[in-house]
Amino acid sequence: MPIITWDETYSVGVERIDAEHKRLIDMINRAYDAAETMDDEAVLSDLIDDMVEYATTHFSTESDLMKQHKYPGREEHLLEHSNFTAKAVISGTAEPSDEWRVNPIKIFQFLAEWLKNHILETDKELGAFLNEQGVK
């Protein structure tokens, strides 16, 4: 069952960014499903690794567009990306122990909620700015 579903309210009006957001949503959903069943922890770990790698690629896309078009909120936006990446990396590298247990379901709930809020607030602002610059 998807934890987050793409619909047009998530569109920021920039085709490349929207396509990358759709892929991130799909990756979060696949990792969440794997965490729910916990059939294979190696699969879950691979999905997390893939998600972190793709998020890094996506964030680079946004960073390049912000730099190219001199986006005034670039530094704050990049800080949000760093926070997302850090949380995703922790979820993929932490080993459960008696002292500290990672709950992957809660992590993916956090990541899905973070992504929703980031798209609907921060990325919508970036999209509007880029549209004003002629980026579609």
Q: What is the pTM of this model?
A: 0.84
| Domains observed in the chain | 8-132 (1.20.120.50)
What sign has the CA pseudo-torsion 93, 97, 102, 105? positive
96-124 residue pLDDT tens? 443 434 677 777 888 889 889 999 999 99
57-83 residue pLDDT tens? 999 999 999 999 999 999 999 999 988
The DSSP code sequence of 57-111 is HHHHHHHHHHHHTT-TTHHHHHHHHHHHHHHHHHHHHPPP-SS----HHHHHHHH
**Residue-averaged pLDDT of the chain:** 85
